A and B are shown apart, each in its own frame.
Chain A
Amino acid sequence: MRRSKAFAWIAMLLALVLVISACGSGSKNGGNNSSSSSSAGGSNESSASGGAQTKKDVTLRVFVTNVTPQIQELSEKFSERNPGIKVEADTSPVDQYDTLLNTKIASGDAPDVFLVYTGTKTERLVREGHLMDLSDQPWVERIMPGAKSVISIDDKIYALPSSQFVMGILYNKKIFNDLGLNVPQSWDEFLDTAQKIKDAGIIPIGLGLKDAFTGLFIPNMMAASAIYRDNPDFDAQIKAGQQTFAGSAWQQMMADYLDLDKRGLLNPGVLGTGYDQIQQMMASGEIAMMPTLTPTVKGIRAMNPEVELGMFPLPYVKQGETIWLPSNTKSVVAIYSKTKYPEEAKKYVEFLAEPENIKILMENNLSVYTDIESVSDPAVKELEQYIANGTYPFLDAVWPTTVQPALMKGVQSMFAGGSINEILEELDRQYQIGLNAQ
């Protein structure tokens, strides 16, 4: 009979724990008074369990990547200024962000305010009707015209921009000075400079292809000068079927890209080395140059405050020609079209758009607002002067969403010995698939 007692206890315990866990475990910040069993959301706030509340407490759900940790303190500031509107800011690691966001939207449970990536990703969301039109918001007129045209979709604005990212080659000034090297202005000079660095026993260029996205920097930079400077309609032509990746300037670009490895100008074990290791080696001076984005500079300086850094655009040009760079306007957030709290959400975004807050969000990057000045890192400033020559958006902003992952995989394949032709054909194939899906 002891056994049956034991079982009775277990059964009761189980029931008890099941009830407890179903009713509010995992709810944020403990159960507040009106905790209707809702955890990640304030959507049921109004149906408070029988409690008579004179003021309706609103909770805005905000979702961004962990690259923007400032969102927490900004959200708190906002709540202080606007009692009655609570903000639940959730972050996710970058590589999971799209997955999580899409799953949330697909299930009809999208956050009220969330990060969107400029370009085709935003376009996708707009086409499916998930984003609110923000063209009439007060902060829109403060956006620089160039940036405004980049983020507009059908002449409407759907997201709050924060800053401008640019891709370039980060270089170690001390190594360059010690070896008497100048910033290269052409592809031949670039190869020459790298060779001299190699002869001095230092790794010329660092590439961390284990993290597939790093493979994208160089093609983006090459394409800006080699293709878009002289033919800005290239993408429109691909869309219209008049152009393909295969057989275009991409063949030469990829061959030259691979050539860097063949000449031994890249770090050994390029496919097995991750981005974090490359950054480490850059900070410690083992690598002289690395292709990257302007925001990365801050992190590298944090690893080694003594390192002297500069940036220049990848000169994939013949001597004397103009160099173009890839530049992207980074968005902070957009508003879910079906949010239950449109007014509060707009207020939140307006708050973020205030100059001091934009400054916090943009960190050391270049400004996109007419009333905000870029407070940049000296290395980033070095790159800024080239922007006036000409820029083109990051390619994932203009391609269907299926193409970039294919290019990432393709670059790895290429370095693993794959055929460039096959890779470019796959890009074409994925482009068509992506177009049809949109």
Chain B
Amino acid sequence: MNRGYGLSRLWVNSLFLLPALLVFTVFLIYPVANSFYYSFTDWNGIALAPKYIGLENYRELLGDSDVWNSLKNTFIIALLFTLGVNVIALALALCLQGSHWIQKGLRVWFLIPLMISPLAIGYVWSFFYSPIGGILNMLLESVGLSFMTQDWLGNPKLAIYSVIFSSIWQSMALSMIIYVAGLQAIPRDLYEAADIDGAGMLRRFTTVTFPLVAPAFTINMVVTMIFGLKKFDIIFIMTGGGPGGATENLAIHLYNQAFTYNRMGYGSAIAILMFLIIFVLSLFQVKILRNREVEY
């Protein structure tokens, strides 16, 4: 390997990296860096010269009860979304691992909500959850459960769960497919061994299935958590963050601050906070989950 080869190697490597680097840097990193700058100003969105105010925005947001409320909601949504999706997806995957035509058909059927725009899902579920003449309440009444009818999106204690459920409804199947693939990769002889030992359903699951589905588990948990933390579209359409901030997570809150209250600077500070949280949590989660994975 002479020096000539070394230089041309650099050149070729750069060629491979260049398109991605260019697009990524120009259209993502550069704007983010700008936002970082704005978070130290009091920019209102239309002024031509934003004023530098140092850490004021950050001081304010630490004491802002709305930010703490959004933070709380962000965690609730992320946690329940992640748990909900993964539990349901795994449960369904366990039932759908085989190649019976019903199983194949259901795998397809459950994926249909994923093909629909979150926008449309939001509209449909809002219609569903309506307190007067809403489908869900109507259904409950028709089977004699009228004591369970609620103002699903208007009741501040309930709204967040209603939104989370709609979101799970939409995207659960994605994780489910990944679990099915993971389950199908488990060697059958391990199950036979468990059978011979007289293991019941539960033991089969805890000793064979769950440990070996770990790679799929890791990916699903990390990805659903990140999406859960970032959730915006469906909340925006269904409640806009209401009632009174009951469903407002950091993403919605920062959107409102930046665009409705015209406080771009403050909104940018909140965005930075959101990024930090996602970053730390993801790192943490990956570390924990990677250690669990079993090689076989």
Q: Name the prevailing secondary structure of the A interface residues.
A: helix
A437 within 8 A of partner (CB): yes
Which residue of B243, B246, B259, B262 contacts A209 across the interface (Cβ within 8 Å)?
Answer: B243
Q: In chain B, what residue has the closest Cβ to A102?
A: B45
With A102-B259, A270-B154, A272-B129 known as contacts, the answer to whether A210 contacts B244 (CB < 8 A) is no
A376 within 8 A of partner (CB): no
Q: Name the prevailing secondary structure of the B interface residues.
A: loop
Please tell me if the beta carbons of A402 and B242 are within 8 angstroms of each other in the complex. no
B131 within 8 A of partner (CB): yes
What's the minimum C-beta distance from A117 to chain B, rounded to whole angstroms?
Answer: 12
Please tell me if the beta carbons of A99 and B259 are within 8 angstroms of each other in the complex. yes
Bound CA span A411–B152, Å:
18
Q: In the complex, what residues of B have CB within 8 A of residue A130's CB?
A: 46
B132 within 8 A of partner (CB): yes
| One of A59-67, A166-174, A231-239, A413-421 at the interface | A413-421
With A128-B48, A271-B243 known as contacts, the answer to whether A102 contacts B262 (CB < 8 A) is yes
Which residue of A98, A269, A416, A430 contacts B131 across the interface (Cβ within 8 Å)?
Answer: A269
Please tell me if the beta carbons of A277 and B243 are within 8 angstroms of each other in the complex. no
With A128-B48, A273-B131 known as contacts, the answer to whether A98 contacts B239 (CB < 8 A) is no
Q: In the complex, what residues of A have CB within 8 A of residue B133's CB?
A: 277
Q: In the complex, what residues of A have CB within 8 A of residue B244's CB?
A: 409-416, 418
- Considering only residues 93-135 of chain B, those with a C-beta below 8 Å from chain A are 126, 129-133
Q: In the complex, what residues of A have CB within 8 A of residue B44's CB?
A: 124, 437-438
Q: How many interface residues does A have (CB within 8 Å)? A: 44
Please tell me if the beta carbons of B259 and A268 are within 8 angstroms of each other in the complex. no
Please tell me if the beta carbons of B46 and A124 are within 8 angstroms of each other in the complex. yes
Q: In the complex, what residues of B have CB within 8 A of residue A273's CB?
A: 130-132, 154
- Considering only residues 135-178 of chain B, those with a C-beta below 8 Å from chain A are 151-156
Please tell me if the beta carbons of A271 and B154 are within 8 angstroms of each other in the complex. yes
Please tell me if the beta carbons of B156 and A417 are within 8 angstroms of each other in the complex. yes
Bound CA span A92–B39, Å:
28
Please tell me if the beta carbons of B151 and A272 are within 8 angstroms of each other in the complex. yes
Q: In the complex, what residues of B have CB within 8 A of residue A401's CB?
A: 261-262
Please tell me if the beta carbons of A272 and B260 are within 8 angstroms of each other in the complex. no
B240 within 8 A of partner (CB): yes
- Considering only residues 402-438 of chain A, those with a C-beta below 8 Å from chain B are 402, 405-406, 409-418, 430, 433-434, 436-438
A227 within 8 A of partner (CB): no
The chain B residues found within 8 Å of chain A, CB to CB, are 42, 44-48, 126, 129-133, 151-156, 239-240, 242-246, 256, 259-264
Known: A269-B130, A409-B242. 4 other contacts (CB 8 A): A267-B132, A271-B155, A272-B153, A433-B263
Q: Nearest 9 A-B pairs (CB), nearest first?
A: A272-B154, A269-B131, A271-B154, A413-B244, A412-B244, A416-B156, A272-B151, A269-B151, A99-B259
A-B contact pairs, 27 of them (CB 8 A): A98-B262, A102-B45, A102-B259, A105-B45, A106-B45, A124-B46, A128-B46, A128-B47, A128-B48, A130-B46, A210-B242, A268-B151, A269-B154, A271-B154, A271-B155, A272-B151, A273-B130, A273-B131, A401-B262, A409-B245, A411-B244, A412-B244, A412-B245, A416-B156, A416-B246, A434-B261, A437-B263
